[in-house]
Amino acid sequence: MSGTNHLTGADATVKMLQAYDVKHIFGLCGDTTLPLYDSFARLDHDITHFLTRDERHAGYMADGYARVTGKPGVCEGPSGGGATYILPALVEANDSSVPILAITTDVATTSRGKYPLTALDQEGLFRPVTKWNTSLDSAARLPANIRQAFRAMTTGRPGAVHLALPFDTQKGDVSDAEIWADKRHRHFPAERAAPDRQAIRDAVDVLEGATSAVAICGGGPVLAGAENVLQKLAELLDLPIATTVSGQGSIAETDPHAIGVVGSNGGVPATRAVIDAADVVLFIGCRAGSVTTERWRSPKPGVTIIHIDSDPMVIGANYKTDVAVCADARLALEAILEEITERSDLTKQHGTDRAAKAWKAKLAKFAPLATGSERPIRPEAVMAAMMDVLPPDAVICADPGTPCPYVSAHYRLPSAGRHFISNRAHGALGFSLAAAMGAQVGRPKAKVLSLMGDGSFGFCCGELETLVRYNIPVTSIVFSNAVYGWIKAGQEWGFGKRYYNVDFSRTDHAAVARAFGVKSWTVEDPAQLIPVLREAVAHDGPALIDVISQPLHEAAAPVSEWVA
């Protein structure tokens, strides 16, 4: 066609990513990726590609990046093993409502059915774990499919999407007239759903009649950027605000209305008491799942429920819901605030008093553990050192196991917004280091920490080479206790202390990190935590502290199943 230039499919892929303002990609090369990598090498673009050591961590980097930037994260990998390795990252992101795009290259469409090396049904593989996915079998349709991918992952409930890119499609013919992007889908959440006005009036009617209401925020308010309007609502009603682990950052935990994390992972009896005494519970962007609700025992069945969520399938799934508001969290809270300000004689909920009482009880138990001189070092002492040293805009990425419940229960985030990341949907070990690397790329001026157990260290230590190669200044803390601690604690409390196959040999994590070129320390004396952490945080490159720590089954872990 006259006046039309033609591109290869691989060239078109790069140009489409440019059109969507993608600045960073995380991935790993393979045979089927050669045309795509050649396009990255030849074309003039402003995309930085980070070569990782495996595809799983490329996906986790994209996840951390998306959470701190509000832009979709992009990762890529080759066919066969590359596609299977990248899968866990999409599982976590999709169920955590985090938009990441995974591009996995594939064997040529003409090779299907002929048993080529690395062939598998990628579209079928990714279908159950993504919001949307397809195979780009037609080069002519490639730009439209990429637009569909960005639309799918940023609208409604955000989630993960996947594109399979066959080898022959990468070499196919694409008209440059098709290279354009819908700018609405460069950030998330896009095309927000507004609430029904009658539902808002009904919600405010319920709140007017309440005397001890409480809000429980899941990940929705932070994803929607609803922190400011949530704080205004808390101040107007004197409403106490609790969060799930994923909801941390909905409000600064030093705010007088914040009661902290509730639920079986990070909640404590004092915060649980606030929920159990409530006459109205306002779930905001929260699924009311098993951890948040102590297996649906807190809030107690029968309490009046107002539920706000962008996903209609979440509302009413676990509790009889009196008022359902299916909408974006920020738009819903803005509408509630507007409706409330039009009314007079608002009932105050005594939130600051209730929150202060909960924190007083929590801190009374935390303080002696945090300031003790016991060896191995108590995790509470690490939390206290972090609160002493870290700047208010720090970003903390925590793996499951030892780090997550302690950060959730005891580290009081001084600022609202995305300052804490943990993989709460599926809890795979080895997440935090890669997520911290992605977060550091996305928020380069912030101090970013990765907290992991030594079980997690074994899953991810290869990425220390990536950390050093790009000089990403993440500070890592390893809780070193030579055990899969969460499982051993479960055996301690629920299975008669019948420990089976949970202990492993101790590793000198500082020495391993040093071999990769990471500046490292080992800390055995709690008195050394603060000075070593100050030095590590001030270091201008990657750093790691190996903390010889108390195992969970011997600790006062804030996990209700074990305390009970």
Query: What CATH number is associated with residue 84?
Result: 3.40.50.970
SS (H, E, C) 172-235: CEEEHHHCCCCHHHCCCCECCCCCCHHHHHHHHHHHHHCCCCEEEECCHHHHHCCHHHHHHHHH
Please name the residues in contact with 451: beta carbons below 8 A apart, sequence gap of 6 or more: 396, 397, 398, 399, 403, 407, 432, 476, 477, 479
Q: How far apart are CA 99 and CA 133, in angstroms?
A: 13
Does residue 549 lie in a domain region? yes
| Residue that finishes a domain, picked among 324, 354, 384 | 354
For residue 298, the one-letter residue type is: S
Secondary element (H or E) of residue 307: strand 304-309
pLDDT in tens, the chain (564 residues): 445 788 999 999 999 999 999 999 999 999 999 999 999 999 999 999 999 999 999 999 999 999 999 999 999 999 999 999 999 999 999 999 999 999 999 999 999 999 999 999 999 999 999 999 999 999 999 999 999 999 999 999 999 999 999 999 999 999 999 999 999 999 999 999 999 999 999 999 999 999 999 999 999 999 999 999 999 999 999 999 999 999 999 999 999 999 999 999 999 999 999 999 999 999 999 999 999 999 999 999 899 999 999 999 999 999 999 999 999 999 999 999 999 998 877 889 999 999 999 999 999 999 999 999 999 999 999 999 999 999 999 999 999 989 999 999 999 999 999 999 999 999 999 999 999 999 999 999 999 999 999 999 999 999 999 999 999 999 999 999 999 999 999 999 999 999 999 999 999 999 999 999 999 999 999 999 999 999 999 999 999 999 999 999 998 989 988 865
Same domain, 174 and 210: no
Are both 156 and 206 inside the same structural domain? no
Query: Within a domain: residue 366?
Result: no
Tokens 């989630």, located at residue: 159
381 and 432 assigned to the same domain: yes
For residues 142 and 235, state if they share a domain.
no
Q: Which residue has the tokens 């832009």?
A: 71
Indicate whether 22 and 166 sit together in one domain: yes
- Our CA angle for 30, 32, 38, nearest 5°, is 80
Same domain, 10 and 151: yes
- Single out the residue in 185, 214, 246 at which a domain terminates: 185
Instruction: State the pTM of this model.
Output: 0.97
Answer yes or no: do 454 and 499 share one domain. Answer: yes
Q: Name the pairing type of β-strands 73-77 and 100-106.
A: parallel
Q: Which domain, by its residues, includes 113? A: 6-185
Q: Rg of the chain's alpha carbons, rounded to an integer?
A: 24
Distances in Å between the Cα of 48 and the Cα atoms of 21, 162, 173 are: 12, 20, 25
In this structure, are residues 400 and 406 in contact, taking their beta carbons and an 8 Å threshold?
A: no
Number of domains within the chain: 3
24 and 161 part of one domain: yes
In a domain, 388, yes or no: yes
The C-alpha atoms of residue 47 and residue 259 are separated, in whole angstroms, by 42
- Pair (520, 543) in one structural domain: yes
133 and 201 together in one domain: no
Q: Is residue 1 a part of any domain in this protein?
A: no
**E strand residue ranges, 46-118:** 48-51, 73-77, 100-106
